[in-house]
Amino acid sequence: MSTRSADALHRFLHQGLGSGVARELLGSPRSSGLASIDRVIQSDVETHDGAAVVEPVPQAEPIERFVVIRPAPRWPHLDLRELWQYRELLWRLAWRDVAVRYKQTSIGVLWAILQPFLTMVVFTLVFGRFANFPSNDVPYPVFVFSALLPWTYFATSVALSGTSLVSNRALVTKVYFPRVLLPLAGVIVPIVDFMLALIVLLGMMVWFDVWPSLAIVLSPLFLFMAFVCALGVALFLSAVNVRYRDVPYAIPFLMQIWLYVSGVVYAISSLPEKWQWVLALNPMTAVISGFQWGFLGTAAPDLGKTLVSVAATGVFFVVGLWYFRRSEPRFADAI
Amino acid sequence: MSAAIVTEGLSKSYRIGELQGAYGTLRDSLSGAAHRLVRRDRRQHFEEIWALRGVSFEVAEGAVLGVIGRNGAGKSTLLKILTRITTPTEGRAEIRGRVGSLLEVGTGFHPELTGRENVFLNGSVLGMKQREIVRKFPEIVEFAGVERFIDTPVKRYSSGMSVRLAFAVAAHLEPEILLVDEVLAVGDAEFQRRCLGRMEDLGRSGRTILFVSHQLQAVAQLCDRVLWLDNGEIVGDGPSTGVVAAYLQAGHGTGSSKEWSDVAAAPGNEVVRLRSVKVVQGGVEAAAVDVRLPVGIEIGFRVLESGTQLFPKIKVVDQRGTVAFNAMDTSDRWAVPAGPGEYVSTAWIPGNLLNEGFTSVQVAVCSLSAPKLKHHVSVNDAVAFHVQDPGEGASARGAFTGQWQGVVRPLLEWTTEER
Dist. CA B356–CA B397, nearest whole Å: 10
Please state the three-class secondary structure of A166-184 as a single string.
Answer: HHCHHHHHHCCCCCCHHHH
Task: Find how far residue B195's CA is from the centre of its chain.
Answer: 18
Q: Is A99 on the interface with B (CB under 8 A)?
A: yes
Contacts made by residues A258-265, CB under 8 angstroms, sequence distance 24+: A258/A155, A258/A282, A258/A284, A259/A151, A259/A155, A261/A285, A262/A147, A262/A151, A262/A288, A263/A147, A263/A288, A263/A289, A264/A123, A264/A144, A264/A147, A264/A148, A264/A151, A264/A288, A265/A123, A265/A127, A265/A133, A265/A144, A265/A147
Per-residue pLDDT of B84-139, as tens digits, reads 888 899 999 999 888 887 766 777 788 889 999 999 999 888 888 889 999 999 98
Quote the percentage of chain A above a pLDDT of 70. 80
User: Cβ–Cβ of B203/A6 closer than 8 Å?
Assistant: yes
Q: Is B90 on the interface with A (CB under 8 A)?
A: yes
Q: What is the mean pLDDT of residues A31-44?
A: 33
Per-residue pLDDT of B140-162, as tens digits, reads 898 888 888 999 998 898 877 88
Residue B238 — very low, low, confident or very high, per pLDDT cuts 50/70/90?
Answer: confident
ipTM field: 0.74
In total, the C-beta contacts within 8 angstroms joining chain A to chain B are: 226
Nearest to B362 by CA among B385, B386, B387, B383: B383
Give contacts of A 33-72 with B, CB under 8 A. 33-34, 36-38, 40-42, 44-45, 48-49, 57, 59-60, 62-72
Chain A closest-CA separation from residue B383 CA (Å): 29
Instruction: Give per-residue burial for A2-32: e unless 16+ CB within 10 Å, then b.
Output: eeebbebbbbbbbbbbeeebbebbbeeeebe
Domain boundaries, chain B: 3-249, 257-388
A1 vs B139 pLDDT, higher one: B139
Quote the percentage of chain B above a pLDDT of 70. 81
Q: What is the pairing mode between strands B208-212 and B177-181?
A: parallel
Give B412: exposed, middle or buried? Use CB within 10 Å, 0-12, 13-18, 19+: exposed
Q: Is B116 on the interface with A (CB under 8 A)?
A: no
pLDDT score of A43: 32
Q: Which residues contact B93 (CB under 8 A, 6 or more apart)?
A: A68, A69, A70, B5, B6, B7, B8, B10, B81, B82
Q: Which of A3, A4, A10, A12 to mutate to test the interface with B (most CBs of B within 10 A)?
A: A12
Q: Which residues contact A153 (CB under 8 A, 6 or more apart)?
A: A190, A191, A193, A194, A223, A226, A230
Residues of chain B positioned with their CB less than 8 A from the CB of A38: 201
| Sign for the pseudo-dihedral over CA of B90, B94, B97, B102 | negative
Dist. CA B85–CA A172, nearest whole Å: 7
Dist. CA A192–CA A209, nearest whole Å: 26
Residue B20 — very low, low, confident or very high, per pLDDT cuts 50/70/90?
Answer: very low
Q: What is the mean pLDDT of chain A?
A: 80
Angle at B208 between CA B206 and CA B213, to 5 degrees: 125
Dist. CA B33–CA B15, nearest whole Å: 15
Highest mean pLDDT among A202-211, B37-46, B242-251: A202-211
Q: Which of A4, A5, A23 to mutate to test the interface with B (most CBs of B within 10 A)?
A: A5
Quote the percentage of chain B above a pLDDT of 90. 27
Contact B310, B334 (CB under 8 A): yes
User: Cβ–Cβ of B139/A33 closer than 8 Å?
Assistant: yes
User: Cβ–Cβ of B200/A25 closer than 8 Å?
Assistant: yes
B356 three-state secondary structure: coil
Chain A closest-CA separation from residue B287 CA (Å): 25
Using the predicted structure, report yes or no on whether residue A150 has a pLDDT greater than 80. yes
What is the domain class of B3-249 according to CATH? alpha beta
The DSSP result for A89-154, as a single string, is: HHHHHHHHHHHHHTTT-SSTTHHHHHHHHHHHHHHIIIIIIIS----TTS-HHHHHHHHHHHHHHH
Residue A66's alpha-carbon distances to A6, A70, B97, B235, in angstroms, are 25, 13, 6, 28
pLDDT score of B36: 60
Least confident stretch, A41-50, A298-307, B82-91, B209-218: A41-50
Chain B closest-CA separation from residue A318 CA (Å): 21
Dist. CA B87–CA A327, nearest whole Å: 11
Nearest CA in chain B to A51: B1
Fold of domain B257-388: Coagulation Factor XIII; Chain A, domain 1 (2.70.50)
Dist. CA A123–CA A100, nearest whole Å: 30
Q: Which residues contact A79 (CB under 8 A, 6 or more apart)?
A: A178
Nearest CA in chain A to B10: A70
Q: What is the mean pLDDT of residues A236-250?
A: 91
Dist. CA A275–CA A299, nearest whole Å: 18
Give contacts of A 142-171 with B, CB under 8 A. 170-171
Residue A316 — very low, low, confident or very high, per pLDDT cuts 50/70/90?
Answer: very high
Q: What is the mean pLDDT of residues A246-255?
A: 92
Q: Which residues contact A218 (CB under 8 A, 6 or more apart)?
A: A290, A293, A294
Give contacts of B 262-301 with A, CB under 8 A. none
Nearest to B221 by CA among B207, B203, B208: B203
User: Cβ–Cβ of B129/A40 closer than 8 Å?
Assistant: no
Using the predicted structure, report yes or no on whether residue A228 has a pLDDT greater than 60. yes
Could you say which of A63, A245, A334 has the minimum Cβ distance to residue B18? A334
pLDDT score of A56: 41
Per-residue pLDDT of B281-336, as tens digits, reads 988 888 778 888 999 999 999 999 988 899 999 999 887 667 899 999 999 989 88
A314 three-state secondary structure: helix
Give A54: exposed, middle or buried? Use CB within 10 Å, 0-12, 13-18, 19+: exposed
Could you say which of B113, B125, B402 has the minimum Cβ distance to residue A15? B402
Using the predicted structure, report yes or no on whether residue B268 has a pLDDT greater than 50. yes
pLDDT score of A135: 83
